Amino acid sequence: MELYFVRHGKTEWNKEMRLQGRFGDSPLLKTSYQQIELLGQVLTPVDFEVCFCSPSRRARETAEGILTCQKAPVPIHFEENFRELGYGDLEGQKISTSKARYPKALYAMRHDPSQYHPEAFHGESYVKMLERMRTVVEQAMNDYPTGPILFVGHGASLTGCIQHLLGKPLDRLREDGGLANNSLTILDYSKGQFKMKQWNDTSFLA
């Protein structure tokens, strides 16, 4: 079975270097819609059985744009548990400001999630985020065992989820960096094992 993971297109807050998080949201940039169409065209030959998507506007519009390029209608399930990592009081704040206030936490969030402690700003732990993300993926695979399945979500939560599925421990979830906006990652699942087939690909945007 093949699992396709897409991070949403670039938003205004991405451009402004703000933390969006689980409940923060901002509109996609105009150029993002063109990029989403390019990705949709790349994925046209893939006959998705279903799509699971974060209900955040930026993810929803990305998924809908991709699926307009499919040959036949594809059902979409919007899953609350597939939202971005919750940044608590930092959602909507400039990343530079957040780094100045919580340097250790922000460094750990991007480089070593095992040392990420977001309690001071009422953020969500990586462990809790991984539990809810994995639940969505496993339920999707159980309900649609043939696939392929498209998942559309967010940078931190998708990066962590994918590496977690591959069996990496908490301290190594970010060793390959984070997913780019509108990027495509593909995992293959066979005989109880996940294997990386394609990682963080944006070549179709060139």
Catalytic residues: 8, 84
Q: Is 199 annotated as a binding residue?
A: no
Q: Which residue has the tokens 């962590």?
A: 160
Q: Is 185 annotated as a binding residue?
A: no
User: d(Cα 98, Cα 105) in Å, to the nearest integer?
Assistant: 9
Q: Is 182 annotated as a binding residue?
A: no
Q: Is 165 annotated as a binding residue?
A: no
CB-based contacts of 61, cutoff 8 Å, min separation 6: 8, 9, 28, 33, 36
Q: Is 84 annotated as a binding residue?
A: yes
How large is the angle between the packed helices 155-165 and 126-143, nearest 10 degrees?
A: 70
Q: Is 135 annotated as a binding residue?
A: no
One-letter amino acid identity for 89?
D
Q: Is 150 annotated as a binding residue?
A: no
User: d(Cα 116, Cα 171) in Å, to the nearest integer?
Assistant: 10
Which pair of tokens denotes residue 128? 């809790």
- Coil, strand, or helix at residue 155? helix
User: d(Cα 57, Cα 26) in Å, to the nearest integer?
Assistant: 8
Q: Is 24 annotated as a binding residue?
A: no
Q: Is 8 annotated as a binding residue?
A: yes
Binding positions for substrate are 7-14, 58, 84-87
Output the known binding site: 7-14, 58, 84-87
